[in-house]
């Protein structure tokens, strides 16, 4: 029996008919829905007569879900088609192929019609009709036999996954928005299930997995493949949500085509924006896998997200904080953590594990007190961050930047409690877009081999310090942002220009200013405290009472900062000094260090007059991955560099001589 690659290649060849009216990145708009249609047509062929008879019998008595349920039972599937047409009849009437194909699609049950609405396939039918290729495409698909007797459900799933991958690689300029390379998913899945063999091998085990940015469903499919290969007795219910219409339709079709009894009737993949239209509100899951778009902004959703953050706090999804509006990655992470299963083994609740792909930004963006830092703090202080894996660059189709897989869980094994593992897998790669194709695919110029995935998983499982793996305490990533103040130093001097400027604003204080001018003179004074004491005594003698605003204006006009001046006493009393905002500085003191000791050791020797304003302390968390895996490369000897320069000079002179001769 031909394998799934044979059928995928057969369907792939039909795409050549689209050349001209469609550019290669657009082929999937036709080929994926046509593959779905042909599979459904073959699956329903054996029960077609029963369905038509039942439709004639009940169509006048029932409608909607009730009628669909009746006809689904007649079809023996979770869907049906009550149109008298099928692919053979469509092929037999080339003159009416377009309206008949639309009518045929309308004959499906609501769950399938719903999918084709999101495929927006009617517009593609019209486009192919105008290009005079619709009949050719339908007739070619009619020759591809996808009957379950010839192509079992498992193999059909592999065919569709193969096509999805190929078409997404073909459209590599946008593929990164909804497609993750297979090897990255396999690594994530292996890490996700790494310690759950016993749990998954338990007879009757049922687990739920969610991808809130599922795209075409690649992560869901790979998770099911893993369970099928390693724990066929376990049942993994997979769920996904996406707001890209075609990606949603593709993922929903994939789940429905596989005919796995626990995949639901097509409603396990749901359309909508996970931030503002949570289609799984109130549900919890055992596992999470996702690759949210890198650097996606959430301006359009800002009002609703901010309202949930402010009004619901931790009772909602975004209580820990909000990242900057141009990168919503950490919103996805909070969204998933809010759906964690609690750890209650007696109730068969074993907690949750999560794997998410991020760019480097969520590791360190935002200082202490920012939304990003507060989210990191919340996750780390709750001891949920298990590990971060740095992937090689140039792994994704539309970006060459470095990426990281975060593993987050509320059920760490005992040896990992209070610890975080950083795993540097940036050197684990092979050239080429994939193991099957050594050519680059857009920005994807590297891939991870199966052997390298196994090596990374072993490093992860060993949980030891090594060249590529380092173990840290949670506190190692925390710090206190301390405000360091230095005293304000002001000198006083009255000049004709400043005097005129002050009196322009406060002419009613002319007599007082004249008295001050006469008493203190025009020479500069480097002690504002002493100058102001004398001025206050003078005003008291004259019976003058200045308003606070007038006192402030006087100081602003007649003083200037002077590093040689005496520090200004706070409030004019001997209870400390006023800080100089221009000299204010900050120190990030690691949580592993004592703040007072750090200050005396690192700050005081260089700035003797500084002090800390502990009331302004802020707690921050960041993960500087590169610092922990930095490798020092010693400079080359000067003699070697000089020799190379001399050699280059001689070569230049030789070339110049050749030109002039």
Q: What is the pLDDT of residues 47-100, one digit of tens each?
A: 999 999 999 999 888 888 899 999 999 999 889 999 999 999 999 999 999 999
Report the C-alpha dihedral over residues 275, 276, 277, 280, rounded to 10 degrees.
40
Q: What CATH number should be reported for the domain whose range is 1-170?
A: 1.20.1260
d(C-alpha 562, C-alpha 652), whole Å: 57
Instruction: List, for residues 101-123, the tens digit of each pLDDT value.
Output: 999 999 999 999 999 999 999 99
Is residue 201's pLDDT more than 90? no
Phi-psi region of 188 (alpha: psi -120 to 50; beta: other; left: phi over 0): alpha
* Percent with pLDDT over 90 in the chain: 66
Q: What are phi and psi of 65, to 5 degrees?
A: -60, -35
Rounded (5°) CA angle 74-80-85: 110
Please enumerate in sequence order all residues whose Cβ is within 8 A of that of 652, keeping only pairs 6 or more positions apart, or say none: none
Q: Are 487 and 568 in contact (CB under 8 A)?
A: yes
Q: For residue 635, give the DSSP letter.
A: P
Question: Hey, CA dihedral for 588, 594, 598, 600, is it positive or negative?
Answer: positive
Over residues 408-427, mean pLDDT: 96
Tell me what pLDDT residue 444 has.
74
Q: Are 410 and 353 in contact (CB under 8 A)?
A: no
Please enumerate in sequence order all residues whose Cβ is within 8 A of that of 596, keeping only pairs 6 or more positions apart, or say none: none
Q: Are 157 and 257 in contact (CB under 8 A)?
A: yes
Over residues 571-597, mean pLDDT: 89
Of 155-164, 225-234, 535-544, which one has max mean pLDDT?
535-544
Over residues 193-204, mean pLDDT: 82
SS3 465: coil
Tell me what pLDDT residue 199 has.
79
Of 21-25, 172-176, 179-183, 586-590, which one has max mean pLDDT?
586-590
Q: What are phi and psi of 271, to 5 degrees?
A: -90, 140
Over residues 586-611, mean pLDDT: 94
* R_g over Cα of the chain: 35
Is residue 417's pLDDT more than 50? yes
Q: Considering the chain, what is the average pLDDT of its residues?
A: 89
Tell me what pLDDT residue 435 has.
66
Q: Are 151 and 43 in contact (CB under 8 A)?
A: no
Is residue 530's pLDDT more than 50? yes
Burial 85-94 (b: 16+ CB within 10 A, else e): bbbeebbeee
Q: What token pair was written down for 503?
A: 């009196």
Is residue 222's pLDDT more than 60? yes
In the chain, which residues fall in CATH 1.20.1260?
A: 1-170
Q: For residue 382, give the DSSP letter.
A: T
Is residue 440's pLDDT more than 70? no
Asked which of 290-294, 383-387, 571-575 is least confident by mean pLDDT, the reply is 571-575
Tell me what pLDDT residue 105 has.
96
Tell me what pLDDT residue 639 has.
85
CA 363 from chain center: how many Å?
A: 11
Closest listed residue to residue 284, CA positions, set 331, 235, 337, 340? 340
pLDDT band at 479 (very low <50, low <70, confident <90, very high): very high
d(C-alpha 434, C-alpha 414), whole Å: 37
Instruction: List, for residues 352-374, the tens digit of each pLDDT value.
Output: 999 999 999 999 999 999 999 99
Q: What token pair was written down for 314?
A: 């931790």
Tell me what pLDDT residue 176 has.
45
Length of the chain: 661
H/E segment holding residue 598? helix 595-598
Over residues 271-276, mean pLDDT: 94
Please enumerate in sequence order all residues whose Cβ is within 8 A of that of 475, keeping only pairs 6 or more positions apart, or say none: 591, 592
Q: Are 190 and 220 in contact (CB under 8 A)?
A: no
Question: Hey, CA dihedral for 408, 412, 413, 417, is it positive or negative?
Answer: positive
pLDDT band at 175 (very low <50, low <70, confident <90, very high): very low
Q: Are 404 and 360 in contact (CB under 8 A)?
A: yes
In the chain, which residues fall in CATH 3.40.50.150?
A: 176-476
pLDDT band at 459 (very low <50, low <70, confident <90, very high): very high
Q: For residue 384, give the DSSP letter.
A: -
Q: Are 561 and 492 in contact (CB under 8 A)?
A: no
C-alpha distances in Å from residue 510, one per residue of 391, 436, 514, 559: 73, 90, 6, 18
pLDDT band at 294 (very low <50, low <70, confident <90, very high): confident
d(C-alpha 395, C-alpha 398), whole Å: 9
| 611-621 and 490-492 beta bridge pairing | unpaired
Question: Hey, CA dihedral for 607, 612, 618, 621, is it positive or negative?
Answer: positive
Of 178-182, 302-306, 443-447, 650-654, which one has max mean pLDDT?
302-306
Tell me what pLDDT residue 264 has.
53
Query: Which class is 176-476 in CATH?
Result: alpha beta
pLDDT band at 174 (very low <50, low <70, confident <90, very high): very low
Tell me what pLDDT residue 293 has.
85
Q: Are 147 and 105 in contact (CB under 8 A)?
A: no
Over residues 10-38, mean pLDDT: 91
Express the helix, strand and coil content of the chain in percent, nearest 5 each: 50, 15, 35
d(C-alpha 286, C-alpha 278), whole Å: 18
Instruction: List, for residues 236-267, the tens digit of each pLDDT value.
Output: 899 999 998 988 998 888 888 775 555 555 57
| Exposed / middle / buried, residue 367 (Cβ in 10 Å: 0-12, 13-18, 19+) | middle
Is residue 2's pLDDT more than 80? no
| Exposed / middle / buried, residue 451 (Cβ in 10 Å: 0-12, 13-18, 19+) | exposed
Q: What is the pTM of this model?
A: 0.86
Q: What token pair was written down for 643?
A: 């020799």
Please give the full DSSP string across 516-578, using - where no structure is assigned: HHHHH-SS-BS-HHHHHHHHHHHHHHHT----HHHHHHHHHHHEEE-TTSPBPBGGGSSS-B-
pLDDT band at 342 (very low <50, low <70, confident <90, very high): very high
Asked which of 114-128, 148-162, 242-256, 427-441 is least confident by mean pLDDT, the reply is 427-441
């Amino acid at each position: 029996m031909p394998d799934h690659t044979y059928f995928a290649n057969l369907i792939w060849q039909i795409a050549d008919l689209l050349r001209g009216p469609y550019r290669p990145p657009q082929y999937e708009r036709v080929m994926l829905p046509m593959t779905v249609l042909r599979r459904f047509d073959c699956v329903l062929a054996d029960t077609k007569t029963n369905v038509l008879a039942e439709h004639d019998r009940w169509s006048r008595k029932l409608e909607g879900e009730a009628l669909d349920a009746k006809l689904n039972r007649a079809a023996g599937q979770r869907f049906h088609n009550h149109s008298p047409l099928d692919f053979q009849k469509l092929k037999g009437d080339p003159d009416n192929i377009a309206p008949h194909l639309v009518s045929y699609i309308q004959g499906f049950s609501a769950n399938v019609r719903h999918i084709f609405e999101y495929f927006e396939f009617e517009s593609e039918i019209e486009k192919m009709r105008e290009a005079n290729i619709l009949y050719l495409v339908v007739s070619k698909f009619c020759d591809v036999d996808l009957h379950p007797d010839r192509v079992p459900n498992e193999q059909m799933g592999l065919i569709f996954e193969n096509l999805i991958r190929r078409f997404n690689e073909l459209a590599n300029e946008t593929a990164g928005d909804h497609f993750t390379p297979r090897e990255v998913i396999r690594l994530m899945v292996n890490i996700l299930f790494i310690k759950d063999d016993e749990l998954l091998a338990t007879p009757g085990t049922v687990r739920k997995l969610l991808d809130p940015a599922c795209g075409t469903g690649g992560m869901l499919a790979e998770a099911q493949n893993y369970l099928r290969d390693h724990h066929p007795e376990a049942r993994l219910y997979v769920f996904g949500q996406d707001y890209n219409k075609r990606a949603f339709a593709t993922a929903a079709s994939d789940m429905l085509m596989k005919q796995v009894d626990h995949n639901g009737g097509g409603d396990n993949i749901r359309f909508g924006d996970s931030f503002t239209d949570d289609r799984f509100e109130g549900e919890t899951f055992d596992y999470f896998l996702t690759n949210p778009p890198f650097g996606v902004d959430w301006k359009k959703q800002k009002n609703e997200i901010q309202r949930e953050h402010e009004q619901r706090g931790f009772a909602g999804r975004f209580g820990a904080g909000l990242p900057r509006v141009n990168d919503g990655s950490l919103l996805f992470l909070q969204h998933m953590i809010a759906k964690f299963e609690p750890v209650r083994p007696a109730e068969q609740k074993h907690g949750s594990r999560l794997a998410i792909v991020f760019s480097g930004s969520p590791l360190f963006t935002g200082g202490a007190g920012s939304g990003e830092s507060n989210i990191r703090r919340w996750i780390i202080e709750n001891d949920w961050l298990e590990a971060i894996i740095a992937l090689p660059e140039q792994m994704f189709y539309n970006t060459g930047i470095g990426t990281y897989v975060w593993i987050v869980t509320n059920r760490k094994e005992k040896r990992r409690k209070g610890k975080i593992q950083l795993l540097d897998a940036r050197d684990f790669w092979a050239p080429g877009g994939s193991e099957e194709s050594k050519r680059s695919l857009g920005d994807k110029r590297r891939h991870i081999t199966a052997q390298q995935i196994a090596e990374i998983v072993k490093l992860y499982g060993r949980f030891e310090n090594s060249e590529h793996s380092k173990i840290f305490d949670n506190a190692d990533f925390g710090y206190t942002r301390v405000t360091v103040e230095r005293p304000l130093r002001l000198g006083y001097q009255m000049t004709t220009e400043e005097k005129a400027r002050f009196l322009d604003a406060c002419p009613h204080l002319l007599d007082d200013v004249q008295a001050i001018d006469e008493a203190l003179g025009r020479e500069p004074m480097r002690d504002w405290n002493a100058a102001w004491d004398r001025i206050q005594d003078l005003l008291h003698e004259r019976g003058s009472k200045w308003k606070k605003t007038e006192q402030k204006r006087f100081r602003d006009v007649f003083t200037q900062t002077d590093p040689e001046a005496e520090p200004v006493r706070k409030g004019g009393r001997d209870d400390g000094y006023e800080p100089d905002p221009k000299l204010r500085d900050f120190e990030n003191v690691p949580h592993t260090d004592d703040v007072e000791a750090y200050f005396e050791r690192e700050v005081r020797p260089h700035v003797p007059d500084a002090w800390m304003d502990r009331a302004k302390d802020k707690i921050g968390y960041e993960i500087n991955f590169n610092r922990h895996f930095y490798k020092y490369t010693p400079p080359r000897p000067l003699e070697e560099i000089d020799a190379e320069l001399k050699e280059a000079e001689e070569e230049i002179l030789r070339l110049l001589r050749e030109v002039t001769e």
